[in-house]
């Protein structure tokens, strides 16, 4: 905020006393940080100087005046700095100026850009309306017969004949109005209705555009004493850390308790590393077995995707025929009868497009309580070459030894919640 003080008005500027030139390189000529700047702690976001009353200068201040000029002695640096924890990229800057005060170059530039954008949008929408109007008028006139002889594009059309749609392409509105008179009264009435409808639509569009321009040109309302307000929007990237909250799609929320190196994570007999380990106590305590169902179906989809991808990569013999048979088999087991019929009739080119998508993992959807049955799961597991219990052997990434119990490993959707540890204050009594 730049305020009006008893000693003068605070100023948003790049001309800040006692600040090195290198520290101001990321600011524009108005003293405001540029969009796209990478912000680090201690950087100046908005340069601001505040006037100070007339006091007897100290020897140090006299030296500063001699070095930096007369202005350095009359103002004090009140710039906005990035806090110690602030890191990110500037994505937007909004500047608000009180009525009666001069707007800086950046504000004027932003206003002109916004106005140009609104004008272009209005022009494009008008063109679209014009095209739509011509299409509807052309369709109306080309479908109906003439009530009298008429010349269109140097072609003579007799009474009772229909005008070719192509002949309407290069006709202007004045010629069109003359041609309409050669049709019956009913057609002329329909034409007038169309014309009135589009005139009203254009009028509404103009009113909407004028309202937007009026809002754009409206004076900014600021709190008492504030002459200029600058808002800087910074996008920050938060990496997952211990204490952050995560959740699945079944109410299975929890806190990240430990983050280890990738090589220390458990791995499958194939050498594939597990991405995330969930505490199994979260299942019986909340009774949300939907997450078990999701992990099983996710694993089936992943393994079937691998099988389709293998056919893609090897391309042995009649591989497209084999691919079609595999996809039909999946659709049959999943009881997707419509998909089964469609896959049988589909062209090879279209089939390959679907197969490419399925190779990243076949997608399944099922209600939790009235969904897939145990016998259907058995068929899916058999087709995907997964053990009937859905579990697998795992090896400890740190020691390399096999984990004693077989573990349920699958594919689940997990997301990071907004309850981040960086934004919480922790207190504990000892």
Q: Do 42 and 138 lie in a common domain?
A: no
Residues 263 and 396 in one domain: yes
**Mean pLDDT over the full length of the chain:** 83
For the cut 80, the answer to whether the pLDDT of residue 72 exceeds it is no
Task: Please tell me the predicted confidence (pLDDT) of residue 23.
Answer: 83
* 351 pLDDT above the threshold of 90: no
Q: Is the pLDDT of residue 275 over 90?
A: yes
The residue among 99, 119, 141 that closes a domain is 99
Strand partners, 273: 267
Does the residue 355 lie in any domain?
A: no
Q: Are residues 15 and 142 in the same domain?
A: no
How is 176-229 classified by DSSP, letter by letter? HHHHHTTS-HHHHHHHHHHHHHHHHHHHHHHHHHHHHHHHHHSPB---TTEEEE
Same structural domain, 93 and 121: no
The confidence score (pLDDT) of residue 71 equals 53
Give how many domains the chain has, as a whole number. 3
Q: Are residues 90 and 188 in the same domain?
A: no
Given a cut of 70, whether residue 53 has pLDDT beyond it is no
> What local confidence, expressed as pLDDT, does residue 402 receive?
93
Domain check: are 283 and 394 in the same one?
A: yes
Q: Is 398 domain-assigned?
A: yes
Tokens of 203: 């009028």
My answer on whether 138 and 70 are in the same domain is no
Tokens of 293: 């169902």
Distance CA 219, CA 158 (A): 63
Burial 280-300 (b: 16+ CB within 10 A, else e): eebbeeeebebbbbbbbbbbb
Q: Which of 122, 97, 99 is nearest to 110 (CA)?
A: 97
The residue ranges of DSSP E strands in 208-366, in sequence order, are 226-235, 245-247, 253-255
- The CA–CA distances, whole Å, from 86 to 34, 235, 426 equal 16, 10, 20
Give me the mean pLDDT over the 69-78 stretch: 66
Q: Does 104 reside within a domain?
A: no
Greater confidence (210 vs 333) lies with: 210
Instruction: Please check whether residue 353 lies inside any domain of the structure.
Output: no
Residues 271 and 131 in one domain: no
The confidence score (pLDDT) of residue 79 equals 85
Q: What is the share, in percent, of the chain residues with pLDDT greater than 90? A: 14
Q: Can you give the CATH number for the domain in which 22 is found? A: 2.40.50.150
Same domain, 92 and 118: no
pLDDT of 148 > 90? The answer is no
Alpha-carbon gap, residue 299 to 320, rounded angstroms: 25
Dig out the tokens for 116 from the structure.
């140009």
SS3 407: strand
pLDDT the model gives residue 262: 92
86 and 46, same structural domain? yes
- Residue 299 — very low, low, confident or very high, per pLDDT cuts 50/70/90? very high
The residue that leads in pLDDT, 26 or 223, is 26
Contact between residue 375 and residue 208 where contact means Cβ atoms under 8 Å apart: no
Whole-structure pTM value: 0.57
* Residue 350 within a domain: no
Separation CA 93–CA 229 (nearest Å): 11
- If DSSP codes are grouped into helix, strand and coil, which group holds residue 80? strand
The size of the chain, in residues, is: 430
pLDDT at position 430 over 70: no
Whether residues 263 and 206 fall in one domain: no
Residue 183, domain extent: 110-218
Domain contains 36: yes
Residue 429 located in a structural domain: no
Same structural domain for residues 288 and 382? yes
Final residue in a domain of this structure, among 99, 128, 147 = 99
Edge-to-edge strands of the sheet including 11-12?
11-12, 48-51, 75-77
Residue 264's pLDDT is 93
CATH number of residue 289's parent domain: 2.40.270.10
DSSP type of residue 148: S
Residue 349 in this model has a pLDDT that exceeds 90: no
Two tokens, residue 10: 């605070």
- Range 170-181 average pLDDT: 76
Q: Is 76 within a domain?
A: yes
Q: Of 329, 250, 256, nearest to 287 (Cα)?
A: 250
């Amino acid at each position: 905020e730049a305020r009006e003080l008893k000693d003068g008005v605070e100023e948003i500027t790049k001309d800040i006393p006692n600040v090195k030139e290198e520290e101001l390189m990321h600011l524009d000529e108005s003293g405001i940080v540029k969009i796209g700047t990478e912000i680090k702690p201690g950087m100046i976001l908005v340069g601001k100087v505040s006037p100070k009353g007339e006091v007897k200068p100290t020897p140090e201040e006299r030296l500063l005046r001699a070095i930096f000029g007369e202005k350095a002695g009359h103002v004090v640096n009140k710039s906005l700095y990035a806090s110690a924890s602030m890191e990110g990229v500037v994505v937007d800057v909004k500047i608000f100026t009180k009525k009666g005060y001069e707007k800086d170059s950046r504000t004027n530039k932003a206003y002109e850009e916004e106005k140009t954008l609104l004008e272009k949008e209005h022009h494009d929408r008008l063109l679209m309306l014009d095209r739509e109007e011509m299409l509807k008028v052309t369709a109306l006139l080309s479908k109906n017969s003439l009530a009298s002889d008429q010349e269109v594009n140097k072609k003579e059309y007799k009474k009772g004949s229909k005008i070719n749609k192509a002949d309407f392409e290069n006709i202007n509105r004045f010629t069109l109005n003359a041609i309409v008179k050669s049709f019956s009264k009913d057609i002329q009435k329909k034409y007038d209705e169309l014309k009135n409808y589009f005139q009203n639509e254009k009028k509404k569009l103009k009113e909407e555009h004028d309202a937007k321009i009026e809002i754009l040109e409206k004076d900014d309302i600021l709190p008492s004493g504030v002459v200029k307000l600058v808002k800087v929007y910074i996008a920050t990237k938060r990496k997952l850390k211990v204490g952050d909250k995560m959740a699945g799609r079944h109410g299975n929320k929890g806190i990240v308790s430990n983050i280890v190196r990738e090589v220390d994570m458990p791995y499958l007999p194939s050498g594939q590393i597990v991405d995330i380990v969930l505490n199994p106590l979260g299942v019986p305590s909340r009774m949300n077995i939907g997450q078990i169902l999701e992990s099983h179906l996710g694993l089936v989809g992943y393994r079937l995707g691998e099988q389709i991808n293998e056919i893609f990569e090897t391309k042995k013999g009649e591989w497209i025929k084999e691919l079609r048979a595999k996809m039909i088999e999946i659709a049959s087991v999943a009881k997707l009868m419509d998909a089964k019929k469609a896959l049988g009739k589909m062209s090879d080119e279209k089939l390959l497009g679907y197969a490419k998508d399925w190779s990243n993992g076949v997608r399944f959807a099922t209600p939790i309580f009235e969904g897939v049955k145990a016998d259907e799961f058995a068929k899916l597991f058999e087709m995907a070459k997964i053990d009937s219990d859905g579990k697998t052997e795992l090896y400890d990434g740190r020691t390399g030894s096999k984990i004693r119990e077989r573990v349920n490993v699958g594919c689940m959707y997990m997301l990071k919640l907004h309850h981040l540890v960086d934004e919480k204050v922790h207190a504990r009594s000892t």
